[in-house]
Amino acid sequence: MDYLSKTVKGVFRNALDFLGEPEQFSKITKIVIKIALIIIIARLAIRLIDSIINKFVEKQKKSKSNIDFIRVDTMKGLMKSLAKYIIYFIAFTAIIKFFGIEVTGLIATAGIGGLALGFGAQSLVRDIITGFFILFEEQFGVGHYVEVDGVSGIVEEMALRVTKIRDFSGDLHIIPNGKISMVTNKSAGKMRALVEMSIAYEENIDDAINVLKEASEKLKSENDKILEGPVVLGVSNLEKSGVTIQVIAKTIPMEQWAVERSMRKAFKEALDDAGIEIPYEKNVIIQQKNNR
Amino acid sequence: MDYLSKTVKGVFRNALDFLGEPEQFSKITKIVIKIALIIIIARLAIRLIDSIINKFVEKQKKSKSNIDFIRVDTMKGLMKSLAKYIIYFIAFTAIIKFFGIEVTGLIATAGIGGLALGFGAQSLVRDIITGFFILFEEQFGVGHYVEVDGVSGIVEEMALRVTKIRDFSGDLHIIPNGKISMVTNKSAGKMRALVEMSIAYEENIDDAINVLKEASEKLKSENDKILEGPVVLGVSNLEKSGVTIQVIAKTIPMEQWAVERSMRKAFKEALDDAGIEIPYEKNVIIQQKNNR
Amino acid sequence: MDYLSKTVKGVFRNALDFLGEPEQFSKITKIVIKIALIIIIARLAIRLIDSIINKFVEKQKKSKSNIDFIRVDTMKGLMKSLAKYIIYFIAFTAIIKFFGIEVTGLIATAGIGGLALGFGAQSLVRDIITGFFILFEEQFGVGHYVEVDGVSGIVEEMALRVTKIRDFSGDLHIIPNGKISMVTNKSAGKMRALVEMSIAYEENIDDAINVLKEASEKLKSENDKILEGPVVLGVSNLEKSGVTIQVIAKTIPMEQWAVERSMRKAFKEALDDAGIEIPYEKNVIIQQKNNR
Amino acid sequence: MDYLSKTVKGVFRNALDFLGEPEQFSKITKIVIKIALIIIIARLAIRLIDSIINKFVEKQKKSKSNIDFIRVDTMKGLMKSLAKYIIYFIAFTAIIKFFGIEVTGLIATAGIGGLALGFGAQSLVRDIITGFFILFEEQFGVGHYVEVDGVSGIVEEMALRVTKIRDFSGDLHIIPNGKISMVTNKSAGKMRALVEMSIAYEENIDDAINVLKEASEKLKSENDKILEGPVVLGVSNLEKSGVTIQVIAKTIPMEQWAVERSMRKAFKEALDDAGIEIPYEKNVIIQQKNNR
Amino acid sequence: MDYLSKTVKGVFRNALDFLGEPEQFSKITKIVIKIALIIIIARLAIRLIDSIINKFVEKQKKSKSNIDFIRVDTMKGLMKSLAKYIIYFIAFTAIIKFFGIEVTGLIATAGIGGLALGFGAQSLVRDIITGFFILFEEQFGVGHYVEVDGVSGIVEEMALRVTKIRDFSGDLHIIPNGKISMVTNKSAGKMRALVEMSIAYEENIDDAINVLKEASEKLKSENDKILEGPVVLGVSNLEKSGVTIQVIAKTIPMEQWAVERSMRKAFKEALDDAGIEIPYEKNVIIQQKNNR
Amino acid sequence: MDYLSKTVKGVFRNALDFLGEPEQFSKITKIVIKIALIIIIARLAIRLIDSIINKFVEKQKKSKSNIDFIRVDTMKGLMKSLAKYIIYFIAFTAIIKFFGIEVTGLIATAGIGGLALGFGAQSLVRDIITGFFILFEEQFGVGHYVEVDGVSGIVEEMALRVTKIRDFSGDLHIIPNGKISMVTNKSAGKMRALVEMSIAYEENIDDAINVLKEASEKLKSENDKILEGPVVLGVSNLEKSGVTIQVIAKTIPMEQWAVERSMRKAFKEALDDAGIEIPYEKNVIIQQKNNR
Amino acid sequence: MDYLSKTVKGVFRNALDFLGEPEQFSKITKIVIKIALIIIIARLAIRLIDSIINKFVEKQKKSKSNIDFIRVDTMKGLMKSLAKYIIYFIAFTAIIKFFGIEVTGLIATAGIGGLALGFGAQSLVRDIITGFFILFEEQFGVGHYVEVDGVSGIVEEMALRVTKIRDFSGDLHIIPNGKISMVTNKSAGKMRALVEMSIAYEENIDDAINVLKEASEKLKSENDKILEGPVVLGVSNLEKSGVTIQVIAKTIPMEQWAVERSMRKAFKEALDDAGIEIPYEKNVIIQQKNNR
């Protein structure tokens, strides 16, 4: 009992001594000053970066005439808040340090979790970096018809972490940007409409080509979605039952399928009118009289 | 014998000295104070984070009108307990340090196991991070029809580590969230119903298109699951034995298959009534008289 | 010779001095005390963890009514021995340290082997972590019909490192748990039986649907494995030679195949009785008289 | 010249001084003692581990009645030599340290090679760890018919690093154990024999099923490799040209193919005897008179 | 209250002392000098590297006569700005160090984020390194027809991070350079046009080869896109219904398809004129009288 | 000028002082001694390892009677030179250290390159380790017919880094050993020859089996490449147009294809002689009179 | 103002003091000496390595008679410049160190970028190492017909980083050497020409084999590209409509296709002359009178 009471007393006396020691006190005041400085510097850094971003954006707006103002402002906001959070995080870790070496060591001790977290966060970082490049390099925009990572559709939303693409079937694909490597933009320029017509081996190829040429000219004059008139390329294949003739045209984006449908109808009717056979599958049959 | 007894005595004397030394005693009291401080700070930190989460959630609830209250409360609970466990873990590792440098060194020595554990835990961390984003970004919800990681079905349960999806065949897929990269949400908007009808090459295409248009209009008036009336697009393909005509409609989600079934039945009957041939596979046979 | 004898003498004298030095002696006693402390702490820690696990398990047993008691006890044993081995390992590495810095350095020197071992052990750790989650989250149980990692069958044994699944063909698949990512549990709820009947294009679709409906009702009344009566969905496909009509039912797990077999037999016989043709493949033949 | 001779003299004098210094001498004797201690400890450790392994193996032999004694002795030898080499390696690296810090630094300097070696050795370590688990968990044994890593055959040899499997075609597959993840053991229990018979759509299904049932019973009475008599399951498929009826049986391992062959022969002959048609592919031909 | 005021006073007094200490002052001036030196060195380094790049480029321009001047200047600019940013970054991190060890420690503390960022940035670095090699080694240029990473088309733009390729279908593929490993340049030399003609087994092979040779010679004289005249190679295959004869030619790049189309048309007409049969699929039919 | 000359003088004076200082001199002599010792030790180590390898090889030669002497000597040379280079490399890095800490630091500074080199060299190390195991475990030898990494052929050359395999088509595959994981040795034991004969459904199965058995016996007596006589297994499949009967035999390696060819010829002729039909594809034709 | 002027003065005074301190001066002279030494050593090292390479190459040239001198000189130049750049890089990093610890720390601070760069450069290093082995081991040479990484063609250029291969279609494949793992050299030895002839089931196999043997002998005498005369192997397959007979020959590299074409023509004509039927696809037709 005596020993215990002595111990307890000793503990309290030590605790009071610890906080009252002049060198400890001086240490604490220094820490307070440093923390104040860190907070001030952090705030100044945020303001500085904000104004740099503002200037950069203004310059961008002036230099590019056809710029998408809404996207620019979105990116400005994004970059500002990103910078803000990073600076706060750095300031926080710097301040935490002043509560003694224990905290640092503690993080070192907790290194296993940290390692795991680092690897986990890695995919988030990759999403954001890739998202930044897609926005910055204007690889595609909302409303474009694109193909990324094996799915294609109309871009509905572009965010820093994910891109949302709506399929023609109505499905909404939500793709983390880090999964996007190659982007295929199907709304950037003239699209090709391609139709292959098969005619029978018994028909004259030149006649068929002429019929298709006339149908192409008529179609071109009627359809203003066709930018470069349907061109009859020639014999693209000698198939099992017929000779294939290829016709291509250039159309405005997203209209290639409609143009192809018109071309198919027009060419089928033209060949019918000219009496040129579109062949069914043909087989030669040899009757073997005596069975083995 | 004499040597041994001397050794034993020496050991005990040393042990008592070790615990009785004043500097050792002072050291221990300091450690006790520090441990107490860590526990207090940890408790305060938990309270602080709890109130921050509460405020954040309240703000979210107000700003978004159509918010799913149950999910929000689930997430609040999740974030609170996550924060609690992390803080306890940090406090525990900080306290363990005071039982001497041996513990730290010990962990360093046990680094092989730690490395292995870190890599193993990594997949758990990734599951939780991805799960958090799915919940937070509202990529899908319980009851939605989705496709993730090659399986599709109705979402039955969303947890922080796994998502449970029930297939139409009745199978229950349990997917770790870390395996989910691209999400395809099939309940977010109008769905497309697509039917392709084949007519014989001998038939007139315009007649067939008209028959299908009339059938489409009738169907539209009878079926309120169809949001945008069936549209006859035109000649989508020239196949081996027939001309293919494509018809598409927009329906409410999950009803696209029922609509497609109605469309198929209606179109088949309409073409039959109009006497337009839906072709079987056709072959031209040439009899070769003299065998080789 | 003289030099050598002097050397040998010197060596022995040094050896005795080394062991007899008082500071060395004091050092050794301190080490002995510390080792004793470590062993005591380790034993206490094991007892503590054992009682924590016991309490946790009791609580679990009370809170969940339909719990699988055998599995719970298995897990209790597993967790206890896991904790025991980890604590022994930590204590062992801590003790080994007192035999001088050489051991630590030695391990550092042997770092190449350690690195290799760490990576090798990594897969073992992953197996155990995943195995723990499968058991803990009750993703599946012994006797369930599951599909994991490309193989499906009845679960015969679940262990911390491997899962054993018996295929219907009799093959026994032994899968390390770390290889299991997505689990498909095929025994969790109603299963779907799906049958597709093909009828000739010449037949009336409504008649066929009625025949199938009647057969479905009869089947439902006779077969108590069917939970939700066979529903005739409609025209699921327009195939080359026939119109496909889809019928689905819900059954108790593992009976979907038997139900499908009954449905196929009943529907085939019903269509035969009603004189509705189930079509063979049909071809239209056109004789071309004059060879090319 | 003078300078050089002075230098050479100086060098030799320094060399002699270096070896003759008393503190250097004392250092060397200490090193000699420590090396001797390491060797003694290493030898003791090997003996200790040997006896532990012996006891462990004896215990295993007693507890499991149906144990494979040859394999147990193989593993005992393996574990002993593994332990021996590891201890020698640790002792060697510990001794090498006493030849000065240079050796350690040297290994640090040679870190590039070490890194490469570590990664290279990694695959060897993984082979051995996996091999150990396969042996220890008795996943399969010599003579079993297994499928691992895409090849299947009879296990001819199991070693710590590789497993040798002989294909039915005679090929000998030598697989590093690290490549083995999922093991499919095809000799662990009853195997399934499955035969599907096709009958014409014109035939009565019940008659066919009865014929197959009778043939199954006859076969069961004649063939003692069949463990569970062939069971006629019912209509497993409605194919293009016939109705498929499935029959399964359970056989002793490795005899499923022979049983399937008997079943096929018996069922074919039974259906022939009963005059039930096994259909050839059937086609309906429609003659179209007027060519397009 | 008294204690608090004393504390506050103490804090301020300490703060002033801290900034007024002569050793602190001397420290600061040294830091200022060092920062100034770093900035000066950085600026000099940039100038130096600029002039080195200039000289290198001039040398390149002289040594290679057929060099693409625009690309060279692009690369010059790129390399200059790259060097500039790297030097600024190094200088910045060097300066940041002088604001005390806290910053360094802070970065160390923030190591988790750093690790993640490092891995994220890694893909950007790989893009740029690969892009540099593609430009530097002149693997392809704008306007070339290439195949990279599974897509082929005309190169529209080559940048340091991405390459843009336009497909013949009009799609624009945007490929990060890091994804480009093997490059297939289809505009670097003569291209091959290959046509395979099938003749009936009943025809004489030599006759057919002669007909094709004559047609080839005629075609060569008419078509200046053909660089090496169509060569009849011989019997490339004995197919189910005919003997295949292969003809190849060499053409100017991008014209191989047009040449192939001309060849197909010419050969088909030549064989028709010579009365050599291009076979349809042939079947021998054996009538089996008595059904089984 | 005055300042500069003073500087230059100062520099030279310092340089001389530096080399003339007695402590520096003593340092250098010590380094020289240590370098000499390292070289001596390295030479001794090489001799030691050489003699160990010699003894090991001699022992191997005696213990195994059927050993391949050329390969053993190749491996002896390989192991000797490998050991020599490793020791030289270690000695070199140890010596380089004595030219001051700069060299070590320098390597640390050059760590980026080192990292890259380490990863690059990694694949070389893996090649050599795998190559060593293939040679040491005698997985295959020159002249064996093997399949590794997707290519099969006769082994022409086995080296420490690559294995050369000649395909039957004449192609020479050069495979880095690190790419070899599973080895399939096709020359290690009896090979299986397998032939499947199809007979018409109308034929009697027992008759066909008897005919094949007689043909097998005749073949066995004529062909000494057949080790285990062709065994008629039974009905292996019920195909669309015929009943398949399987016959297998065991042959000496590399002769399985020749034996299969003989079996096919013999069985075909035997069935012809016995008048048992080998069926062509059979179709049942149903004439549908009234077109839809 | 006063305080400021005092500060500025203080700064300047400190700067002068800093440079004027004797210990600082002595430090600088030592650094100058060390830098000079490093440069001298670097230059000597380059000369040494150059002469070593020269000697090595001379030795190689003498020992191998059929060596490719141009390649040897290319490699000599490559190795020299590689060594030169590595030494310069090491010297540069060593010198940079003397500008104070700041530079080292700076690089450590810039570790994130370094990590990224290291990983990026890794692929370049791998390219060069693999390229070196391909050149050194003479796996293939310019003009050889090879298959690497899924593309095959004639090697046009071999460089340290990339290999250029021209496809028969004219495409130029540019492959980074690091992507090359297995090399298939198709110009190293005799190539196989393989032709399979199909004869009708009704024909006598021995007659057909004799006809093919005679045709083979005739062909061998006429065609000097055939190294080993066409050998008739026997019945390689029993196909649906015919018996397949295999004939193989060995030819000089790159002529196997031409030889195959000759063989096909010769064999087809020989079988025609002998009146042996090369079968078309054969079908047995069974007329089913009564429709179901």
Q: Residue G227: is its pLDDT beyond 50?
A: yes
Low-confidence winner among A105-119, C117-131, D15-29 (lowest mean pLDDT): A105-119
CA angle A63, A66, A68 (to 5 degrees): 100
Query: What mean pLDDT comes out for the span E17-38?
Result: 65
Contacts of A288 in chain G (CB under 8 A): 282
Both B50 and B149 in one domain: the answer is no
In a domain, E200, yes or no: yes
Categorize the per-residue pLDDT at A147 as very low, low, confident or very high, splitting at 50, 70 and 90. Answer: very high
Q: Which residues of A touch E280 (CB under 8 A)?
A: 201, 240-241, 282-284
Higher pLDDT, B263 or G67: B263
Listed residue (C38, C47, C110, C27) closest to B103, CA to CA: C38
Which has the higher per-residue pLDDT, G120 or E129? E129
In a domain, F120, yes or no: no
User: How many beta-carbon contacts under 8 Å exist across A and C?
Assistant: 5
Mean pLDDT of E32-46: 79
Given a cut of 60, is residue A192 above it in pLDDT?
A: yes
F100 and F18 in a single domain? The answer is yes
Amino acid letter, C273: D
List % helix, strand, coil for chain C (3-state, nearest 5): 55, 25, 20
Check residue D193 and give its pLDDT.
95
pLDDT of G96 reads: 61
Prediction ipTM score:
0.72
Residue F233's pLDDT is 95
Choose between D59 and A9: higher pLDDT: D59
What is the model's pLDDT at position B141? 83
Over the stretch B3-51, which tens digit does the pLDDT of each residue have?
555 555 655 555 555 555 555 556 667 767 777 777 887 888 888 888 8
Task: Tell whether A257 is covered by a domain.
Answer: yes
Using a CB-CB cut-off of 8 Å, the residues of chain C touching D30 are 14, 18
Q: Are residues D15 and D91 in the same domain?
A: yes
Query: Is G47 inside any structural domain?
Result: yes
Same domain, A74 and A160: no
Same structural domain, E203 and E181? no
Give how far D152 is from chain G: nearest CA, Å.
Answer: 26
Please report all neighbours of B, defined by 3+ CB atom pairs within 8 A: A, C, D, E
Residue A19 has pLDDT above 80, yes or no: no
pLDDT at G64: 57
Residues E255 and E175 in one domain: no
Contact yes or no for G143/G194 (Cβ under 8 A): no
Which of C119, C137, C182 lies nearest to residue B179, judging by beta carbons?
C182
Predicted confidence at residue A119, as pLDDT, reads: 56
Range of weakest confidence among A162-176, D62-76, G46-60, G123-137? D62-76
The total domain count for chain A is: 3
Percent of chain D whose predicted confidence (pLDDT) is above 70: 69
Subunits with 3+ Cβ pairs within 8 Å of C are A, B, D, F
Residue of A nearest to C283 (CA): A281
Among residues 230-259 of chain A, which lie with CB inside 8 Å of chain B? 241, 258
F173 and F212 share one domain: no
- Distance in Å from the first CA to the final CA of chain A: 116
> Are residues C103 and C7 located together in one domain of the fold?
yes
Cβ distance C177 to D186 under 8 Å?
A: no
In a domain, F114, yes or no: no
The pLDDT assigned to F48 comes to 83
Lowest mean pLDDT among C252-261, G3-12, G263-272: G3-12
Q: Poorest-confidence range of C23-27, C67-71, C284-288, D127-131? A: C67-71
pLDDT at res. D135: 77
C-alpha G177/C-alpha G162 separation (Å) is 5
Decide if E189 contacts E198 (C-beta within 8 A).
no
Per-residue pLDDT tens for D205-238? 999 999 999 999 999 999 999 999 899 999 999 9
Q: Tell me if chain A has a CB within 8 Å of the CB of G201.
A: yes
pLDDT at F245: 96
Per-residue pLDDT, F106: 42
From chain D, the residues in CB contact with C288 under 8 A are: 291
Percent of chain E with pLDDT over 70: 70
To 5 degrees, how large is the angle CA C111–CA C117–CA C119? 105
C24-72 pLDDT, tens digit each: 556 667 767 777 777 887 888 888 888 888 887 777 666 654 445 556 6
What tens digit of pLDDT does each residue of B264-284 get?
A: 999 999 999 999 989 998 888
State the CATH number of the domain containing residue D210: 3.30.70.100
Taking one residue from A and the other from B, the number of pairs with CB-CB distance under 8 angstroms is 173
pLDDT in tens, E1-11: 455 555 556 55
Q: What's chain C's average pLDDT?
A: 78
D148, burial (CB in 10 Å: exposed 0-12, middle 13-18, buried 19+)? buried
Write the burial class of residue E98 (CB in 10 Å: 0-12 exposed, 13-18 middle, 19+ buried).
Answer: middle
Of A30, A122, A181, the CB nearest to E120: A122
Mean pLDDT value of segment A256-268: 95
Lowest mean pLDDT among B81-90, C194-203, F133-142, F225-234: B81-90
The residue-averaged pLDDT of A62-81 equals: 63
Q: What is the pLDDT of residue F209?
A: 96
State residue E56's pLDDT score. 76
Checking if the pLDDT of B162 tops 70, the result is yes
Calculate the CA dihedral of residues E33, E39, E43, E45 and round it to 10 degrees.
Answer: 80
Residue G213 in any domain: the answer is yes
Interval G63-121: pLDDT, tens: 654 445 556 666 677 677 767 766 776 676 666 655 543 444 444 444 444 444 555 56
Asked if D183's CB is within 8 angstroms of C179's CB, the reply is no
pLDDT digits (tens, 9 = 90+) for B115-153: 445 555 667 777 877 887 887 777 888 889 999 988 999
Of the candidates B182, B233, B286, the beta carbon closest to that of A149 is on B182
Q: Contact at 8 Å (CB) between F125 and D119?
A: yes
Which 8-state DSSP code applies to residue F41? H
Query: pLDDT for D147-164, tens place per residue?
Result: 998 899 999 888 778 899
- Interchain CB contact of F201 with E (< 8 Å): yes
Ranking A84-88, G8-12, G152-156 by mean pLDDT, the lowest is G8-12
Same domain, G34 and G76: yes
- Residues of G whose CB is below 8 A from E149: none
C287 vs A: CB within 8 A = no
D269 assigned to some structural domain: yes
- Average confidence (pLDDT) over D191-209: 94
In a domain, G196, yes or no: yes
pLDDT band at D97 (very low <50, low <70, confident <90, very high): low
Q: How far apart, in whole angstroms, are the C-alpha atoms of residue G282 and residue G200? A: 10
Same domain, D164 and D259: no
D153 and D173 share one domain: yes
CATH code: domain of residue A153: 2.30.30.60
Residues of C in contact with B109 (CB under 8 A): 93-94, 96-97, 104, 107
**Mean pLDDT of the region B225-229:** 90
Domain co-membership, E179 together with E206: no
CA distance E238 to E231: 19
Q: Residues of G numbered 15-34 whose beta carbons fall under 8 angstroms of chain E's beta carbons: which are they?
A: 15, 18
Domain C-terminal end among A65, A91, A109: A109
What is the bridge-based pairing of β-strands B281-287 and C281-288? parallel
- The residue ranking higher by pLDDT, F116 or A86, is A86
Strands of D191-199's sheet, edge to edge? D191-199, D243-251, D226-238
pLDDT surpasses 70 at D10:
no
Collapsing DSSP to helix, strand or coil, F242 comes out as coil
Q: Report whether D75 contacts D136 (CB < 8 A).
A: yes
Neighbouring chains of F at 3+ CB pairs within 8 Å? C, D, E, G
- Count of residues for chain A? 292
Nearest CA in chain E to G117: E125
Mind listing the pLDDT tens digit of every residue in chain F (292 residues)?
A: 455 555 556 555 555 555 555 555 566 677 677 777 778 878 888 888 888 888 877 776 676 544 455 566 666 776 777 777 667 766 766 666 555 434 444 444 444 444 445 555 667 777 877 887 887 777 888 889 999 988 999 998 887 788 999 999 999 999 998 889 899 999 888 999 999 999 999 999 999 999 999 999 999 999 999 999 899 999 999 988 899 999 999 999 999 999 999 999 999 999 999 999 899 988 888 888 655 4
Of D109, D121, D149, the CB nearest to F107: D109
Model pLDDT, residue A292: 45
pLDDT interval class at D59 (50, 70, 90)? confident
**Alpha carbon of C89: minimum distance to chain F alpha carbons (Å):** 32
CATH code of the domain covering residue E89: 1.10.287.1260
List CB contacts (< 8 A) between G124 and chain F. 116
pLDDT at D214: 95
pLDDT, position G22: 56
> If you measure CA to CA, which chain C residue comes closest to F284?
C280
CB contact A286 to G (< 8 Å): yes
* Chain G residues touching E93 at Cβ < 8 A: 106, 109-110
pLDDT level of residue D25 (50, 70, 90 thresholds)? low
Chains contacting chain D through 3 or more C-beta pairs under 8 A: B, C, F, G
Confirm or reject contact between F95 and chain D (CB < 8 A).
no
Confidence of residue B95 (pLDDT cuts 50, 70, 90): low
Query: How many CB atoms are located within 10 Å of the residue D136 CB?
Result: 10
Print the domain residue range for E266: 191-273
Q: Please give the interface size between F and G, counted as residue pairs whose CB atoms are below 8 Å apart.
A: 172
Cβ <8 Å between F179 and G184: no
* pLDDT attached to residue A14: 54
Interface membership of A106 toward E (CB under 8 Å): no
pTM: 0.78
In this prediction, residue C292 has a pLDDT band, given cuts at 50, 70 and 90, of very low
D106-123 mean pLDDT: 50
Residue G257: name the closest of E235, E204, E199 by CA: E235
